[in-house]
């Protein structure tokens, strides 16, 4: 995709601002940016955004529309039969494989109370492997991808 085509395409999707600093990029950076922007599924992003915006206009605070789960909707791993756990796991893996599930890992925050200047997710908690919390979570997500034979967005 050349620059003119990309400009027209981005304008169609309301994203032309992504090229505002184009002139300050090197040829290598421009090439990489063209490639990256051309690989994005803009229609899917716009659809997701529109769906999100339309559902947020339902009025009132979310807290006002929430209610506790009924006891039938709650379970404990220790009280759930192994066969049921395996079925739930199978359903979860299938949802991942079909792209019906996303994981949002919210982590970070300042580690000042721990006496460090970096995010607390980078803090060494004294494991023999010396892995950070971020690395442990990333490895768990990669393992889930492998087990589900899918991709977690």
Give the position of tokens 């580690």.
Answer: 111
Partnered with residue 119 across adjacent β-strands are: 110
- Residue in this structure with the two tokens 């085509």, named with its chain if needed: 5
Could you tell me the two tokens for 68? 């506790």
Q: Residue 44: CA atoms inside 13 Å, Cβ hemisphere, count?
A: 4
Does residue 48 have a pLDDT over 80? yes
- Burial (CB < 10 A; 0-12, 13-18, 19+), residue 55, is exposed
Q: Tell me the average pLDDT across 31-52.
A: 85
Residues whose CB falls within 8 Å of the CB of residue 88, separated by 6 or more in sequence, listed in order = 80
Instruction: Convert the pLDDT of each residue in 68-93 to its tens digit.
Output: 888 888 888 898 999 999 999 999 99
In this prediction, residues 133-144 reach a mean pLDDT of: 88
Of residues 110 and 15, more confidently modeled: 15
Domain ranges of the chain: 3-56, 80-148
CA atoms of 57 and 54, how far apart (whole Å) = 5
In this prediction, residues 121-144 reach a mean pLDDT of: 86
pTM beyond 0.85: the answer is: no
Q: Is the pLDDT of residue 55 over 70?
A: no
Q: CB atoms < 10 A from the CB of 107, how many?
A: 11
CB 134 within 8 A of CB 120: no
């Amino acid at each position: 995709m050349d620059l003119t085509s990309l400009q027209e395409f981005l304008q169609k999707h309301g994203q032309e601002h992504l090229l505002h600093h184009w002139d300050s990029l090197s040829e290598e950076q421009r090439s990489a940016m063209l490639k990256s922007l051309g690989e994005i599924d803009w229609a899917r992003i716009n659809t997701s955004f529109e769906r999100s915006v339309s559902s947020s206009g339902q009025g009132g605070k979310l807290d006002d529309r929430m209610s506790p789960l009924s006891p039938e909707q709650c379970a404990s791993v220790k009280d759930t039969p192994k066969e049921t756990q395996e079925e739930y796991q199978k359903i979860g893996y299938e949802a991942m494989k079909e792209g019906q599930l996303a994981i949002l890992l919210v982590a970070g925050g300042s580690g000042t109370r721990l006496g460090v200047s970096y995010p607390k997710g980078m803090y060494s908690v004294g494991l023999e492997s010396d892995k950070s919390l971020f690395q442990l979570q990333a490895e768990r997500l990669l393992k889930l991808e492998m087990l589900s034979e899918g991709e977690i967005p």
